[in-house]
Structure 1
């Protein structure tokens, strides 16, 4: 009940199904069966043994009460799992199962099979996000708005440039996560202490053949306590979380009543308040933030347990299981919410332009100062413009009018020149060039 109330709303239903407990158990079984097949090919077992095992276990429930109860007794799921399926086998086949590996070999390798599916899912979601962002960039590359630094109005930008920044971050995070495939998706197979001693002279051959059978990379040696690839995975998941958290944060701020530049997609009952009928809360942004902030904590848990002692960790390995799955499910939920958010985002260009003049146009003080400094001493130019900004704000008059009241400025620049300098669209610098570069990378 706890998960249904407080966890599931932040996660992805599709990913929960893809990475279900039953799916993981099937992956563990597949690792065991492929190992038997490899050993059969090497002459350790009679031909047909692997098929007999597969047929004998067909339809056997892999996740039952005894397996669940046994996890706490053995310290990992592989121990009760192997015991359970071995009990379901004919006497002549029992000895062929789980010959050579240790529990961590099965747990970690099954995880790699599950991660392969998860990475493909994340890749498709990442591509969808990039597509929605590209569309927004192209649609709003010329839509003027105010740029904000330290939460204050700064200089004019375009909404397309802001979204291009989102796109660049999402793209970088996507590529970082997908770039892990070669390093991450690798066999774990070292036996009790990482030597495969139980397999004798066949150890290396079985190692390489099993990796090939499972379509995983064969690392130079087992990685029972070398968790570099897992470290990279956790931080890559967090990077992707950061990329969508940034988007949700910006949208939530821009959707504030006093700003009103964007709004989340409308929907029946979406964003309603239990007590205030007029409210339209940015619920999808809230769900994204709720998910990504939990991910940061989960990643920190891994980072604090990433150095595993000796040849098998006491607790460090064990903390990976739930933290990794929770992080992936939460990221899946954040990505799904972000996809809906961006696909239906409501953008209000008129409000964006109006907000450029919230401070009477004094945001254009920089270009005026730069131009005046070409025609008089810089300190005089800065002082005159600063005085004009104070007048504009105090008397609530246009910035151009306040500038033109100053005799020094009036002597240096005509009214037409001042109006041109104070026009937001005249001070966008390399905006369009940056947008072109971001789009070209896609």
Structure 2
């Protein structure tokens, strides 16, 4: 930024464009001695947003690794890693935890970045000392977060059997919506179908029975479905919908963006 360009003469704008083009940077329309900090706000906000998006996924990994869920987990080197200095059995999602903590630090850079946009007469140095931390640290931390997330995702352990066990532990209750919607498809008014499944679900919960068994002996349901049809509604694979297509489209979109 060269302000009015008085020191560079008539070629000031040409010189500015030449240097910025060489650096592969955009040419700002109007500047003082410094560029406006709104672009820094956008930049740090973008980094905080990326860090947060990654943290959301890693947070899910941490939760799904809990002993009572145990559906996915970070890879664990049993020869070298120690989960706890006292509890020898532990396998903590340490990389995910570390990255999540760093994401919080990146988000903390937002407030000083906003504050740095306020300069006395468009030029004081209160922003300078802060930006030595906010800009450099945000970049370095985000890079580390992405590297850690790549490590986690590339080696993620998925326990499909445990997922099935957790589904089975619900004794069909998570499939209630599927049955209700199929009742509606077969002509039962929605409110009535909802009440039928609500009553059946409450009975299953109180008795400890599987919802499929309760539905099989519930007249409004058994009158419309034979045993095989009812059983098919309780198959977990029937609840995937178009999730596979959505995942493929999202991955393809990300690949195009990277290219």
TM-score, normalising length from structure 1? Answer: 0.53
Instruction: Give the match for residue 252 of structure 1.
Output: 62
Instruction: Give the match for residue 440 of structure 1.
Output: 252
Find the partner of 1:298 among 99, 102, 109.
109
- The CA distance in 2 between the partners of 1:349 and 1:361, in whole Å, is 18
Instruction: Give the match for residue 262 of structure 1.
Output: 72
- The CA distance in 2 between the partners of 1:417 and 1:316, in whole Å, is 68
Unaligned runs of 5+ in 2: none
Instruction: Give the match for residue 349 of structure 1.
Output: 160
Instruction: Output aligned runs, 1:40-189, within 5 Å.
Output: 189=1
Q: 1:408 to 1:202 in 2, by over 3 A?
A: closer
- CA drift of 1:233 comes to 0.9
Find the partner of 1:277 among 71, 88, 94.
88
- CA drift of 1:329 comes to 1.6
Instruction: Output aligned runs, 1:257-406, within 5 Å.
Output: 257-267=67-77, 268-270=79-81, 272-373=83-184, 374-406=186-218
The answer to whether residue 239 in structure 2 is matched with residue 427 in structure 1 is yes
- CA drift of 1:202 comes to 4.4
Q: Secondary structure at the match of 1:197?
A: coil
Instruction: Give the match for residue 30 of structure 2.
Output: 221
- CA drift of 1:426 comes to 1.7
- CA drift of 1:226 comes to 1.2
Q: Secondary structure at the match of 1:195?
A: coil
Aligned residue pairs total 251
C-alpha deviations, 1:354-411, integer Å up to 9, x for none? 2122211111111111122333333332222112112222222221101112223222
Find the partner of 1:204 among 8, 13, 18.
13
C-alpha deviations, 1:55-89, integer Å up to 9, x for none? xxxxxxxxxxxxxxxxxxxxxxxxxxxxxxxxxxx
Contact 2:176 2:197 in 1 (8 A): yes
- The CA distance in 1 between the partners of 2:21 and 2:250, in whole Å, is 39
Find the partner of 2:229 among 387, 395, 417.
417
Contact 1:360 1:398 in 2 (8 A): yes
- CA drift of 1:228 comes to 2.3
Instruction: Give the match for residue 106 of structure 1.
Output: none
Computing the radius of gyration from Cα coordinates, the structure with the larger value is 1
Q: 1:329 to 1:270 in 2, by over 3 A?
A: farther
TM-score, normalising length from structure 2? Answer: 0.87
C-alpha deviations, 1:153-204, integer Å up to 9, x for none? xxxxxxxxxxxxxxxxxxxxxxxxxxxxxxxxxxxx31xxx22323344433
Contact 1:271 1:282 in 2 (8 A): no
RMSD: 2.1
Contact 1:359 1:393 in 2 (8 A): no
Which stretch has the larger CA shift, 338-347 or 265-274? 265-274
- CA drift of 1:314 comes to 4.2
- The CA distance in 2 between the partners of 1:432 and 1:270, in whole Å, is 35
- CA drift of 1:215 comes to 4.9
Contact 1:308 1:317 in 2 (8 A): no
C-alpha deviations, 1:254-295, integer Å up to 9, x for none? 111011111111124435112111111110111011100111
- The CA distance in 1 between the partners of 2:37 and 2:95, in whole Å, is 34
- CA drift of 1:316 comes to 2.9
Q: Secondary structure at the match of 1:412?
A: coil
Instruction: Give the match for residue 236 of structure 1.
Output: 46
